[in-house]
Amino acid sequence: MKTLGLGSVLLAVLRREVSLALRQKGEVLTPLVFFVVIASLFPLGVGPESALLQRMAPGVLWVSALLAAMLSLQRLFATDYADGSLEQMALSSTPLGLLVVAKAISHFLLSGLPLVLMAPVLGLQFGLDGRALGLLMLTLLLGTPTLSLIGSIGAALTLGVRGAGVLLSLLILPLYIPVLIFGAGAVESDAAGMGAGGHLSLLAAMLVLSIFFAPIATTTALRISLE
């Protein structure tokens, strides 16, 4: 019964986060528009050479997705911190970790999942075939939740700090690099005929580790920021 109760609380907080985010459609659309614009500029700037575009595609799309996902991280806890809701949640009997998990899931649903769905359309500009597009989607589906979970740690550590956006980028970019390397590397390795199994396994392992450790680290950081 306790598990069911915690699950109900998690769903309620998740619905709240999604509904609040959807009221500010501009903030929801900004990462997606940024992703589309950045990824679309590269084929225009590089030219129509298909072999070069195909080699560039995984790295360009992954870097664009990573930067787009970072745009909304600073606001992950900032609104609740500003109006006092975050402090009330920390003092309530509901575990603060539930808020962290709900925030990370909502960030993935609103910022990460649209990038996953848009990636194949942008991949067509680079001349990627169906297999490469499917693999690109899979790597983003494994990688973007990890980005949201890791990003939540940085958002909690920089909560209430002046110039938080720059500091947040400096904190989490080094942690994002392995996800970027293995995400883009999976598509490149498969295109070279070496298979993508190892890269996908490492992405899945990083996701599992993030699911376990990131909420704990974020909860601790939030309590420090609230003191």
Say which range, 8-12, 125-129, 136-140, has the weakest mean pLDDT. Answer: 8-12
Is residue 33 predicted with pLDDT exceeding 80?
yes
Residue 199 amino acid letter: H
Residues 6 or more apart in contact with residue 219 via CB below 8 angstroms: 96, 97, 100, 156
CB 39 within 8 A of CB 64: yes
Phi-psi sector, 127: left (phi>0), alpha (psi -120 to 50), beta: left
Is residue 79 predicted with pLDDT exceeding 60?
yes
Compute CA distances 92 → 35, 193, 223, whole Å: 38, 54, 13
Is residue 198 predicted with pLDDT exceeding 50?
yes
Is residue 205 predicted with pLDDT exceeding 90?
yes
Q: Sorting pLDDT into bands at 50, 70 and 90, what band is 136? A: very high
Average the pLDDT over 166-174 and give the result: 87
Which pLDDT value is given to residue 5? 66
Three-state DSSP class for residue 158: coil
Angle (CA) 81-23-86 rounded to 5° is 15
Which structural domain range is residue 134 located in? 2-226
Q: How many domains does the chain have?
A: 1
Which pLDDT value is given to residue 176? 94
Concatenated DSSP letters for 51-114?
A: HHHHHHHHHHHHHHHHHHHHTTGGGTTHHHHHHTHHHHHHHSSS-HHHHHHHHHHHHIIIIIHH
